[in-house]
Copies of this chain bind each other. A is one copy, B any other.
């Protein structure tokens, strides 16, 4: 109940309807964070803590574990009223509770909480949001690693394993696990470092439209809609508009954006909506300038994540074990031809001028890791036939293109290239792929007003996160994932 005057808990415990009521009842106690509580030699400070009730035990001496983010602390009703102990025991799991009390030293280190050397002697206890008694999934079950479930099973014990679909159905509860709290904090840093490195190199952050006429870059995987009577679709990438922005005089730019793909197939690495990180830049001499940016950017990112997110990466590892990514200080660049040779020498059948399938990419990742000791590398100079129509052919041999892909743990995460800035060649290459040039006229025309040579790349943020932490399923890296079947919650 939100209207103010109905709090049953006017005493030391009870339900409280409003923040205002709680403020009055807990006056004199100072707000504290569970994670920053510290042991004090003398009588500790009088603190107020809000958190989720994890579990309550006991009758005469009642204990309540309170969780705030990833931190937990034990709260004790020692000499307190029986009424309070009963009230505590009756709190449903995940209810949001305010505890006011004194920070104290437990007789022995507390087991099973992140705060082991302090506890709180409860003086006031009020519930501000009751969870339903029967939760559809429990945070403890959702936080369990597959190894733990397997080990228990081997020992004849039965532990609940929460499947991926059920997790996502009740994502609001699933997100409360330590691993999930960490995954989205690390991912925030992926985006942040991407932006900061590029800003420091003179790139400008821009926003291109997601609602576009025509059919984006062609292909079937496009969401269509009605735009005030005009046929429109959701851009599959900022490709066309970011190139137009280069023609508009922005020499170096980046974009973080929502990307929409009406993917038909349910895989571990595709989402129907994801966060794209895109770069486009004017070139001086060679498309390797784009590779240089990728190199500096991602090496800086991996370095930074390992250092500044160590605690979060540990939390992820506890539930989803993975080995740290192997990468070099200067990123390895291989020519596509060399990759083909390595695969052929390893007995893998590949077409020299065809595309690599997922399996061949995986195998090449292994060969490269064994030979060069890196799981992060670039493959350059792809055959023109397997790249999009706007890709610049190599000047010395137009069967090849000024393009590259980047791989992490054997999976592609980045595609990049020099683009065609000549409008006639661009139109010819589009036509050769069966694209109706009239639908991209504004794009082609933008190269008729003077266009600098340029190139860029795009990468999916969730894929970076999935592969850096070896998470195995991209749904783990999306707050509320969208796949061919899932549109909720």
B-binding residues in A (CB < 8 A): 1-5, 17-23, 31, 50, 52-53, 68-69, 92-96, 128-132, 135, 170-176, 180-181, 184-185, 188, 191-192, 195, 199, 204-213, 223-228, 230, 232, 234, 241, 244-245, 247-251, 256-258, 260, 262, 264, 272-273, 275, 282-286, 392-393, 395-396, 398, 420-422, 424-425, 442-443, 446-453, 461, 478-482, 484-485, 487-489
A206 touches B223 (CB 8 A): no
A171, closest chain B residue (CB):
B248
B213 touches A223 (CB 8 A): no
A273 CA to B20 CA, complexed, in Å: 39
Task: State the Cβ distance, A55 to closest chain B Cβ, in Å.
Answer: 13
A261 CA to B4 CA, complexed, in Å: 36
Instruction: List 19 extra interface pairs beyond A175-B249, A209-B482, A225-B234, CB under 8 A.
Output: A2-B420, A18-B395, A19-B283, A23-B286, A129-B421, A131-B449, A132-B449, A171-B248, A172-B247, A188-B204, A188-B205, A207-B275, A211-B223, A211-B272, A213-B487, A228-B264, A230-B487, A258-B258, A442-B489
A177, closest chain B residue (CB):
B249
In the complex, the count of this chain's copies comes to 2
A258 touches B210 (CB 8 A): yes
B227 touches A2 (CB 8 A): no
B398 touches A3 (CB 8 A): yes
A478 CA to B248 CA, complexed, in Å: 13
Task: State the Cβ distance, A288 to closest chain B Cβ, in Å.
Answer: 11
A448 touches B241 (CB 8 A): no
Taking CB atoms, residues of chain B closer than 8 Å to A482 are 209, 211
B393 touches A175 (CB 8 A): no
Q: Which of B283, B422, B478 contacts A2 (CB 8 A)?
A: B422
Taking CB atoms, residues of chain B closer than 8 Å to A195 are 192, 195
A480 touches B209 (CB 8 A): yes
A181 CA to B1 CA, complexed, in Å: 52
| 13 pairs of residues in contact across A and B, judged by CB atoms under 8 Å | A1-B424, A5-B395, A52-B249, A96-B450, A128-B452, A128-B453, A129-B422, A172-B244, A192-B205, A206-B479, A227-B262, A248-B479, A443-B489
B211 touches A188 (CB 8 A): no
Taking CB atoms, residues of chain B closer than 8 Å to A262 are 227-228
B393 touches A31 (CB 8 A): no
A29 CA to B272 CA, complexed, in Å: 48
Task: State the Cβ distance, A3 to closest chain B Cβ, in Å.
Answer: 5
A482 CA to B250 CA, complexed, in Å: 20
Most B CB atoms within 10 A — which of A93, A213, A487? A487
A210, closest chain B residue (CB):
B258
A275 CA to B131 CA, complexed, in Å: 35
A392, closest chain B residue (CB):
B2
A251, closest chain B residue (CB):
B69
A487 CA to B226 CA, complexed, in Å: 11
A128 CA to B392 CA, complexed, in Å: 15
A188 CA to B250 CA, complexed, in Å: 12
Contact A173:B449 (CB < 8 A) given known A195-B195, A241-B479, A395-B20: yes
